[in-house]
Amino acid sequence: MPIYEYRCLSCGYQFEEMQRISDEPIKTCPKCGGPVQRLISNTSFILKGSGWYKTDYTSYRKEEHKKSSSQENNKSSVNGDKKSTKVNK
């Protein structure tokens, strides 16, 4: 459940309340009974770093590395079979 932060407009008391999203916002201060305002505050949930795309996961990178290595091996074996046909005049 989200934690909502409130501040009393009369006495300035600031408090937090754990509520469901569907619950009505608190309207009165628990200390003085005055009107309260719900505050918008920073969340502790931070999204940073990699891992958002398929290419960011290590298993995907390993598979791509294996594919590129096998393709390079195939190219080198094909190129190794060709003989130089350089003609000197």
Give the CA distances from residue 66 to residues 78, 79, 89, in Å, rounded to whole numbers and listed in that order. Answer: 18, 20, 44
Express each pLDDT in 59-88 by its tens digit: 655 666 666 666 666 655 555 555 555 566
Query: 11 pLDDT band (50/70/90 cuts)?
Result: very high
Structure tokens at 88: 């000197």
Q: How many residues can be counted in the chain?
A: 89
Residue 89 has pLDDT above 60, yes or no: no
**DSSP SS3 for 4:** strand
8 phi, psi to nearest 5 deg: -75, 135
- With a pLDDT cut of 70, the percent of the chain lying above it is 49
Q: What is the DSSP letter of 32?
A: T
Among the listed residues 58, 77, 4, the one whose alpha carbon sits nearest the alpha carbon of residue 36: 4
